[in-house]
A and B are shown apart, each in its own frame.
Chain A
Amino acid sequence: MNFREHFNNSILFFDGAMGTELQKNGLKKGELPENLNIHSPEIVARVHKSYLDAGCNIITTNTFGANSLKFNNVNEIITKAVKITKNTIKESGKNAFVALDIGPLGKLLKPYGDLEFECAYELYKEQVVAGENAGADLILIETMGDLYEIKAAVLAAKENTNLPVLVSMIFDTNGKLLTGADIKTAIITLEGLGVDGIGMNCGLGPDQMLHLLKEMTKYSSTPLFVQPNAGLPVSINGVTTYNVTPEEFANKQLQILKNGACALGGCCGTNPDHIKAMIDLCKNEEIIKISKKNITAVTSYSKTVIFQDKPIIIGERINPTGKKLLKEALRNNDMDYIYREGVTQVDAGADILDVNVGLPEIDEPTVMQNAVLGLQSILSTPLQIDTSDAVAMGNALRIYNGKAMVNSVNGKEKVMEEVFPLVKKYGGVLVCLTLDENGIPETTEGRINIAKRIIKKAEEYGIEKKDLVFDPLCMTVSTNKDNAKITLECIEKLTNDLGVKTVLGVSNVSFGLPNRELLNSSFFTLAMQKGLSAGIINPKSDAMMNSFYSYCALCGLDENFEQYIANVTDTKTETKSTDVDLKTAVVKGLKAEAHNLTKKELKTKAPIEIIDGILIPALNEVGKGFEENTIFLPSLLMCAETAGVSFDIIKEYIANSGTKTEEKGKILIATVEGDIHDIGKNIVKVLLQNYGFSVIDMGKDVTPEAILEKVLKENIKLVGLSALMTTTVPSMEKTISLLKEKSPDTAVMVGGAVLTEDYAKTIGAHFYGKDAMSSVRIAEKFFAK
């Protein structure tokens, strides 16, 4: 029997609860159910048999938690569990599929928790390989609450086995996963990964699931299955019970079937009686086949952006082309600079962020992966992976948490052969440039023909048209007066004749001409009018965003003119005058004023005069207040960051004028291995930076070896280590002794909630910082020597 042939052709029935049934049949309290496969297989077989007798045709193995975090004999447990299931089916003389049951690992993946994505992948790989070798017919990944963990499990299953993969999720009553994804986001992401079936189980009863199923059928083209609990749990005398009777359960499951599920089963609180009643009532029903949806959408771990009538803003700023400071940040591995570019663009209205880190002298695959990991840990905005390096693209798509936008493919055979398999495997909406081996055709027809070729070739790889978005490219009008016209015609034809979505990097159009923003924003309006689905623009440009808000307001795409009004008010409030001087602005933490005043000061003063005469005295005044308990942490930080605004302007000024600044000293900081608290460390970083020190931040949970390696490579003389928990101080001690041994010239200052002066001495630290300000004082003294 082939599962894929049966699934979605005839109604299939899963079994019900396993744990409680095992308990009824002899599993002892506190005992791990998976161990029964080894020492009491007859108990497991009894439960399987009861469900076979009820009429089930998918039997799930007793392997929910059988992973190497909990067991050291995963292969044995799974092999035996599959054998028990197969034998019980054989002995019953019935036809049923064996579903290898896989549950969550019980650990959260980074950035929420401490489990690495690839580590989760390896744990799942071990399970699915064992399951396939033992003869399972399909893989059932169930009770999943985190999309990222699902991705690790699905990739493990698809890359290492040929079995069909079903994924079942646990939603709360609001239809959300634990890490925040709603149904739409979950469905779109899972379809991108190419799973065979999508379902929900546990957490809710059939009533709530029926409600959620209706939402699922709006977005899914993939067959759906539903395994509810027997109602919501109620506690009676401290015992959890479920109140839905077998008859009620059966009736509700019939409704679920009629609303679009093609396979049914049960979870907590259901027993063979529930399942039998359900099967008896539903077995002669026809299934309603799920219809094909034509939705172009990208997702993050919690958010979906659908390409509809309203144009989408793709922020273009994370791209080093023509950006001195970003180039410098990339070379120095200053990822925070990139993250800030991300946050400010989202605040300015970006729906999706383009991420391009291509510089010849950096390791693009690694930097791209880090940029994607970092951005998705702070923002829920979907990302557009922008690279021509297939390795970087593959790396980024692998660890991307959601269905990404991918920039780009074009009509060149070689490029299509590289990019299509990646998008097929990981999912994605692909930007297709209408150029090929012969360059960019000068005519509309030429570009449309390339688009048609790309669509056809994508189809061969199993990539649907809805997942392709076309960029007809725009050349500057300064070289050919018709260039803009051709591009606009292309957008119209792509939209109306080919029925595809479009995207455009708008700002090329004005290259070589003055007042570019005016041309760009006007061209953007024209393109939107022709049907442009998404613009890759600078959302921090008022001119571009004003075009966008005006267009939406005029075309009925802005309900109650909310966005338009909000946008217009924004620009008006900008021009307020101030009567403070720069020092006061820094002391009081007034960033906007400090920004303007620094620019003003630079007209008459040398950078060093501003730094030594205004900024440092301001910082010292507030620092002193902090030490004397008249000023407290938030005000100290506001002051430091405002000084940072001034420093950045001065830095940019110096970079443009080509002179070099003197560095005060280089400090490496990190939160030690095992510790994931980094707020304190980040505060120290902000202060040190704004007092003019150059800071290398290695982040949190950093091993002693990694710190040593960086210290030696960068010739670091002062290291700052932070630990918050008593349990992680030993790794701080280990780091210090390793540094003392291998880099004796390097001094270490330590800080963190559990440390004291004495404790710091005991573990061998050179300095103890009782708070953020004292780290500045230590650094000042240290480098003054």
Chain B
Amino acid sequence: MLLKYDLHETARYMGYKHGAKPSEAICKLCEDAYNELCKVITPKYIYKEYEFTRTNDGIIIDGIEFKSEKLLNHLRNSTSVILFGATIGVGADTLVRKYSVTDAAMTSIVHCVGASLVENLCDQACEELKNTIKGEHRPRFSPGYGGLHISSQENFFKLLPMTKQLGVTLSNNYLMTPTKTVTAFIGVTKD
């Protein structure tokens, strides 16, 4: 899968406000960062579709509860839910670490272009998913947002083999490594 980065999004991650555009020199560095990242990333994604039941303030999948009213609301019309995980691998983190001792500007640029790449991976993967799993797909909803506490990652990992198949592990504080990784719930409404 050929990943692309979005310069506008990347600029936003880098702190550009009010539609300000990066200078030509910074755009060139983004391009350099992209080319370097392309050599070291290993994009992969996995997913699994589950039935779920609703509670007052969340959902239950395979006996495991995820408490978040926003998630419940997000899935209000859904008939099933896809657990989705995607990563661009450890190479991006190593590149960020390398630049962190040699070049702070590139560190933040590689970091932000990497973030844009993993978003692009998710977007492309979710398009592919629409072909495999029929029905209307809701946008991605990730642990750590919308009142779904970040500690729910632990349960998420029980339902999706993030470690075995993607090499993603959780730290004691539920942070994922490699860092350029996304987990998400995607609601599906079947006719």
Interface residues of A (CB under 8 A from B): 29-30, 104, 106-108, 111-114, 143, 145-146, 170, 172, 176, 178-180, 235, 238, 336, 339-340, 343-344, 377-380, 588-589, 629-630, 632-635, 637-638, 640-641, 674-679, 682-683, 686, 725-728, 771
The reply on B103 being an interface residue by CB < 8 A is yes
Q: Shortest Cβ distance from B185 into chain A, in angstroms?
A: 16
Q: Shortest Cβ distance from A604 into chain B, in angstroms?
A: 29
Residues of B within 8 A of A674 (CB): 171-173
Are B101 and A378 touching (Cβ within 8 A)?
Answer: yes
Residues of B within 8 A of A588 (CB): 25
CA distance A97 to B160 in the complex (A): 34
CA distance A180 to B95 in the complex (A): 13
Are B97 and A378 touching (Cβ within 8 A)?
Answer: yes
Residues of A within 8 A of B93 (CB): 112
Are A683 and B104 touching (Cβ within 8 A)?
Answer: yes
Partner of A634, one of B62, B105, B164: B105
A632-B15 contact, Cβ under 8 Å, with A343-B102, A589-B105: yes
Are B15 and A114 touching (Cβ within 8 A)?
Answer: no
Interface residues of B (CB under 8 A from A): 11, 14-18, 20, 22-23, 25-26, 29, 42, 48-50, 62-63, 89-91, 93-94, 96-98, 100-105, 107-109, 111, 150-151, 163-164, 167, 169-175, 177-179
CA distance A676 to B42 in the complex (A): 22
CA distance A633 to B29 in the complex (A): 13
- The closest CB in chain A to the CB of B21 belongs to A632
Are A634 and B26 touching (Cβ within 8 A)?
Answer: yes
Known: A676-B171, A679-B96. 12 other contacts (CB 8 A): A29-B62, A106-B169, A111-B97, A146-B167, A180-B89, A180-B90, A343-B101, A638-B105, A640-B104, A682-B104, A683-B107, A727-B173
CA distance A310 to B5 in the complex (A): 38
A635-B17 contact, Cβ under 8 Å, with A344-B102, A378-B101, A682-B100: no
CA distance A336 to B101 in the complex (A): 6
Are A641 and B178 touching (Cβ within 8 A)?
Answer: no
CA distance A728 to B173 in the complex (A): 8
Are A679 and B108 touching (Cβ within 8 A)?
Answer: yes
28 residue pairs from A and B, CB less than 8 Å apart = A106-B169, A107-B169, A107-B171, A112-B178, A113-B169, A114-B171, A180-B91, A238-B48, A343-B101, A378-B98, A629-B18, A629-B20, A632-B11, A632-B20, A633-B15, A634-B29, A634-B105, A634-B108, A637-B107, A641-B103, A676-B177, A677-B179, A679-B108, A682-B100, A725-B173, A725-B175, A727-B151, A771-B15
Counting from the closest, the 10 A-B pairs by CB-CB distance are A178-B167, A637-B105, A686-B104, A339-B101, A378-B98, A638-B105, A637-B104, A114-B171, A108-B169, A633-B15
A340-B102 contact, Cβ under 8 Å, with A633-B15, A634-B109: yes
Residues of A within 8 A of B96 (CB): 679
CA distance A146 to B42 in the complex (A): 15
Are A632 and B22 touching (Cβ within 8 A)?
Answer: yes
Residues of A within 8 A of B17 (CB): 629, 632
CA distance A638 to B163 in the complex (A): 37
Residues of A within 8 A of B105 (CB): 589, 634-635, 637-638, 641
Are A145 and B167 touching (Cβ within 8 A)?
Answer: yes
A112-B177 contact, Cβ under 8 Å, with A629-B20, A683-B108: yes
Residues of A within 8 A of B29 (CB): 634
Residues of A within 8 A of B91 (CB): 180
- The closest CB in chain B to the CB of A686 belongs to B104
A30-B90 contact, Cβ under 8 Å, with A377-B97, A634-B22, A635-B23: no
Are B107 and A679 touching (Cβ within 8 A)?
Answer: yes
CA distance A728 to B174 in the complex (A): 11
Q: Shortest Cβ distance from B31 into chain A, in angstroms?
A: 13
CA distance A600 to B167 in the complex (A): 52
Residues of B within 8 A of A336 (CB): 101
Residues of A within 8 A of B100 (CB): 378, 678-679, 682
Are B94 and A380 touching (Cβ within 8 A)?
Answer: yes
CA distance A280 to B170 in the complex (A): 43
Are B107 and A108 touching (Cβ within 8 A)?
Answer: no
CA distance A730 to B4 in the complex (A): 38
CA distance A641 to B103 in the complex (A): 7
Are B97 and A727 touching (Cβ within 8 A)?
Answer: no
Residues of A within 8 A of B101 (CB): 336, 339-340, 343, 378
CA distance A145 to B103 in the complex (A): 31
Are A589 and B102 touching (Cβ within 8 A)?
Answer: no
CA distance A23 to B22 in the complex (A): 57
- The closest CB in chain A to the CB of B166 belongs to A178
Q: Which of B16, B18, B62 has the most CB of A within 10 A?
A: B16
CA distance A170 to B161 in the complex (A): 14
Residues of B within 8 A of A145 (CB): 167
Residues of A within 8 A of B150 (CB): 725-727
Are A108 and B108 touching (Cβ within 8 A)?
Answer: no
Q: Shortest Cβ distance from A3 into chain B, in angstroms?
A: 28
Residues of B within 8 A of A113 (CB): 169, 171, 177
Are A179 and B167 touching (Cβ within 8 A)?
Answer: yes
Residues of A within 8 A of B109 (CB): 634
Are B169 and A377 touching (Cβ within 8 A)?
Answer: no
- The closest CB in chain A to the CB of B23 belongs to A635
Residues of A within 8 A of B102 (CB): 339-340, 343-344
Residues of A within 8 A of B98 (CB): 343, 378-379
Q: Which of B15, B109, B173 has the most CB of A within 10 A?
A: B173
Residues of B within 8 A of A146 (CB): 167
Residues of B within 8 A of A343 (CB): 98, 101-102
